[in-house]
Amino acid sequence: MKPMRVRTISQFHQLYDLYKPDHPLISVIDFKQIGSPIEPKWNSRAQDFYSISIKRTSNAIMKYGQQEYDFDSGVLFFMAPGQIFNVIADNDSAPKHTGWLLLIHPDFLWNTNLAKAIHQYEFFNYSINEALFLSEKEECTIDQIIKNIQQEYHSNIDAFSQNIIISQIETLLNYAERFYQRQFVTRKITNHKVLEQLEAVLTEYFDNDQLLTTKGLPTVQYISEILNISPSYLSGLLTSLTGQSTQQHIHNKLINKAKERLSITDLSVSEIAYELGFEHPQSFSKLFKKKTKTTPSAFRNSFN
């Protein structure tokens, strides 16, 4: 069954039998007011608007990867338009959520700087298990911003309303970036395991000559799928911990493998390039020189 398409915020309110939204393009909803959807046959849906929410779950165990989370406060989720997610059926053992849900239609951002800038916030593309776990202090900061937004669109709408709300949304997103960087640092055990797993995956791939020859260099998408982490989250985590993106880690492993072949084999530069998954030796030589400031041939000659 295809996912249900929720095109407007008003349609979302109708789906959950909520009050009519005060503003057609932006809405803050209390999770206590959200029950099961009126159309329960739909177990998944996609929305045509942005969604930001803080959830506190009272009767379910929340996990971050393989680790139970250690924050007693809220969990912050971000979703971009078009993303598909599942709706948990309502039953006796279903988790009970509290918190709030902020819905923002893209039309509300029209003709503002945020309309383009919002695509730069990569956490809208994170998976559900890559949500942001907030400390009590951080949650209070975000809650206050939501109250400011709510107060503004509940007031009489005037020429300043949109800009004031937009500035509040920008502030929320900037705080979220700061808090994600904190999470990358504070969850050292989990994140260091990801680094170890990344190294293991790259080593296994580059040690498999058949894989390199037939499939070429591993892609960021391939690595992310193996690690069960979204590409944007993996890159953000690696950049925070190591200063290098996923692609740079792939290239580093490639260069190390190339140096090994150049120093201990008699294979030509072209043969090494083909073995490492390059269709064109020139591309290999260009990347090698970019990373090492020398050509493959000059590197090999340095051992003679």
- Helix, coil or strand: residue 39: coil
| Dist. CA 244–CA 268, nearest whole Å | 30
Q: Do 45 and 178 belong to one domain?
A: yes
Q: Do 166 and 229 belong to one domain?
A: no
Which CATH number is 177's domain given? 2.60.120
Report pTM: 0.76
Tens of pLDDT, residue by residue over 201-232, are 999 999 888 888 888 889 999 999 999 889 99
Q: Do 111 and 69 belong to one domain?
A: yes
pLDDT band (50, 70, 90) for residue 69: very low
What is the C-alpha end-to-end distance of the chain, expressed in Å? 65
pLDDT band (50, 70, 90) for residue 4: confident
| Dist. CA 261–CA 188, nearest whole Å | 34
Q: Do 143 and 228 belong to one domain?
A: no
Backbone angles phi, psi at 198, to 5 degrees: -60, -45
Q: What is the pLDDT of residue 39?
A: 56
More confident residue, 25 or 16: 25
Tens of pLDDT, residue by residue over 259-301, are 999 998 889 999 999 888 888 889 999 999 999 999 999 998 8
Q: Do 173 and 200 belong to one domain?
A: no
pLDDT band (50, 70, 90) for residue 36: low
Query: Among 28, 263, 268, which Cα is nearest to 148's?
Result: 28
Last residue of a domain, one of 186, 208, 233: 186
Q: Do 201 and 176 belong to one domain?
A: no
The domain of 205 spans 189-301
Q: Do 159 and 294 belong to one domain?
A: no
Q: Do 115 and 227 belong to one domain?
A: no
Q: Do 153 and 251 belong to one domain?
A: no
Which CATH number is 201's domain given? 1.10.10.60
Domain count, the chain: 2
Q: Do 157 and 33 belong to one domain?
A: yes
Last residue of a domain, one of 137, 157, 186: 186
Return the amino acid letter for 38.
I
Last residue of a domain, one of 186, 210, 240: 186
Q: Do 167 and 261 belong to one domain?
A: no
